[in-house]
Structure 1
């Protein structure tokens, strides 16, 4: 009898060999537990933990998951009425909290450096009939990359991730686990800073924060993540991690694993890491996720944004002074769909507080040549193999699969229509330009109005996404204390 993985059409010879090697590695390394993980709509890892002896069979036949995991808003409330007639009419297969099956990729196996005798594998959900779960965000990116490949392109991405680390204080850990204080969501931890801030790249502040940053370093490197540097950011208790560029799917996978791993490893050592854009304290500095991207030739790997010499007759403010024709079209596509893509780059209510003038965060739909105030920063020069576009609109809580997919669909539209970019800005905070949405609700409206992005993602996915994000907005509007709502909803959980 065929396994479920064979029924789904994914258990080829390469996967069979990877499963054999993973079985041997589990046995040889004394692994007792294996976590089967999957990334939900909000960029959070969920899954089940199996004993080691059950892991190999589960990688063939799947692990059962309740389908409502895909229907949760940011508080873990189910946004669809799955037990009412017609409650999931637009989502066949999700009625009555039915089952999905999680199939893990055996080649993704990693021992977890912070958890003794524990392994980890990454999976994706499938319907019980062996069809793909089209709402899965990783599959959304895979489809976007397939579309990109049909045009002859691959995508390369580098990650710059700002976030905050705090030391958990007093009896905070016990308070969070006090049954008398249990709530949905529960209280956040009480914390102290690891450095006082306002001294960018300070060696003294790095030394003060070295203990938690060493944990971040060792965790990332033990997981094989391409960490390049750890830095002290400007804000109090704010840090940044920078990663070498990889292919787009690997970059997205790395982002998901990095966030989950450092939060767990730091928590065990008495620290709280948060990827919330603006933690709930006075004088805080917002955190961004700056996404560096370029297209490459799918066959040779050559950077297709690079040009050997500036185009004839161009000035430094012209796109083709730095970028190839393909690069200019891609840049213009990002600008064309900037308002529609914003909600995939900044998907939380909290994140929109970052878009402020003169704050090294964008405010308008503009590009600039090495301009950190612009939404899109073109980095490099003619002859530079590292020429790329940096999107500065993202927050560190974003689902990376949706963030990257939005770039692909917007950029491809620019290439297909051969759009031209305007001249580079020299006033990124001026009044003349089109503004980035200033709230989650406005961003959702902008997405819905962008027919190109709706068609690219699929109207069924967009309707599903809108419904879940609207649940988040509604609950925030109904909250008695909006600040406390954000502390519980975001600071504790992301």
Structure 2
């Protein structure tokens, strides 16, 4: 037994932990959980915990349903919202086959494989997400408008004394820090009831775990205040969608691989190749970073969500942005991918983004010219003239791009690739059969 496992067992005993929740996700990023009795944790470390994988979306087929949860002791945390009466903790798990091999269906395992490849290339990957979400009065729709009801009608960076969202953010940030997640910023976003909380840099696997915990914390705090939190990409027709812009940096030991002192924008060749990989493969992985029908309402609504493949220096209309360089912070050189939304499966999305960037480095993809102008204000002809190709405009188009992608098939592995696409095709088929309120409102009385 290693030291981390010993620490977990000792903490469970010292803090009189009553329940140990084992967390993992299905292929679309839905959090799954099983509560383990403290006396069974040591055995779970040694042998894993068996469960029926065929009952979880995309994990296994009926005839190969037995699977194991292998707790990762480095992710052990007490859950502060459960209180002190019956202390509860959680650990994220890796999925294993009955013979102890990594499961090909594990989204967390997909990201770990890509990170192992990065390590073989000499890189460590760090990520920092900016997570947007809406706070609503309830999950119910307003009968008059047919839309959700936000908790306020404030705007970007607004500060209202005694406001509901300020108290919410204060409690959410405190709870995040209590479970070991460091927060950099929090503020009101542009939409009514829309908020953003930015997490500090961490390695990509820890960040993905943190995002899953983040969503749980945000929902728990909201419920405790009698309101409702949603990470739906575009819950309002007239207001901005919720993105999850993510900053990436690669390090070779203690050296930032994206920094070069004399280069344009201080961006190294490694950084340029990484961006080129993101741009080249973006249409192929958009079904993963933007996995719902509703995701494309955000991408194509015109509210600063990037829908064309371009990159820029401090240009917020570009799909990939190189933030302003700070002379005294060489280690902060990074790139930002702005297409991803906050409803994504972070394990698969970060695997796809990092995998595309690494492929760009491996094959020395050439980076197209930087875009200094506002991509949103260009005409279609102007965008075509400079080579800014569009991202998929619907989930259907995104699925087709992924289906035809050898890159994504290899990156996800056959099992995840098959089940993810099967799930997304089902989403699209159900959506296209649905008669929308818009159709009834505009057509029923005149046709």
Bin for the TM-score computed over the shorter chain: 0.7 to 0.9
TM-score by length of 1: 0.80
Tell me what 1:349 maps to: 293
Change (3 A) 1:407 1:201: same
Change (3 A) 1:62 1:470: same
Matched, 1:24 2:10: yes
Contact 2:352 2:408 in 1 (8 A): yes
Equivalence map 1:404-483=2 (5 Å): 404-425=350-371, 426-429=373-376, 430=378, 431=380, 432=384, 433-481=388-436
SS in 2 for 1:30: coil
Tell me what 1:248 maps to: 204
Tell me what 2:216 maps to: 260
Tell me what 2:153 maps to: 196
Matched, 1:273 2:232: no
Structure 1 residues 138-195: Cα deviation after superposition (integer angstroms, max 9, x where no partner): 00000001111111111111110111112339xx7xxxxxxxxxxxxxxxxx964222
Hey, what's the Cα distance between the residues in 2 that align with 1:459 and 1:205?
53
Give structure 1 regions of 4+ aligned residues with deviation exceeding 4 angstroms: 480-483
Matched, 1:308 2:258: no
Within the candidate set 187, 191, 194, 1:231 is matched to 187
Contact 1:135 1:461 in 2 (8 A): yes
State the shift of 1:205 in Å: 7.3
Tell me what 2:341 maps to: 395
Matched, 1:108 2:75: yes
Equivalence map 1:168-187=2 (5 Å): 168=138
Matched, 1:147 2:147: no
Structure 1 residues 301-322: Cα deviation after superposition (integer angstroms, max 9, x where no partner): 3111011123xxxxxxxxx443
State the shift of 1:282 in Å: 4.7
Structure 1: unaligned runs, 5 residues or longer: 1-12, 73-90, 173-189, 311-319, 484-494
Contact 1:380 1:388 in 2 (8 A): no
Superposed CA RMSD in Å reads 2.5
Hey, what's the Cα distance between the residues in 2 that align with 1:239 and 1:203?
12
Hey, what's the Cα distance between the residues in 2 that align with 1:321 and 1:229?
25
SS in 1 for 2:339: strand
Matched, 1:158 2:128: yes
Change (3 A) 1:130 1:482: farther
Change (3 A) 1:459 1:101: closer
Tell me what 2:441 maps to: none
Structure 1 residues 21-52: Cα deviation after superposition (integer angstroms, max 9, x where no partner): 21111111121111111122122210211232
Contact 2:153 2:192 in 1 (8 A): yes
Hey, what's the Cα distance between the residues in 2 that align with 1:264 and 1:56?
29
Change (3 A) 1:25 1:239: same
Structure 1 residues 315-366: Cα deviation after superposition (integer angstroms, max 9, x where no partner): xxxxx44310111111111111111121121111111111236421102011
Matched, 1:135 2:135: no
Matched, 1:359 2:306: no
Within the candidate set 30, 35, 41, 1:44 is matched to 30
Hey, what's the Cα distance between the residues in 2 that align with 1:124 and 1:352?
31
State the shift of 1:381 in Å: 3.1
Contact 1:112 1:120 in 2 (8 A): yes
Contact 1:357 1:363 in 2 (8 A): no
Structure 2: unaligned runs, 5 residues or longer: 141-146, 439-447
Within the candidate set 89, 93, 98, 2:65 is matched to 98
State the shift of 1:232 in Å: 0.4
TM-score by length of 2: 0.88
Hey, what's the Cα distance between the residues in 2 that align with 1:25 and 1:41?
32
Change (3 A) 1:481 1:359: closer
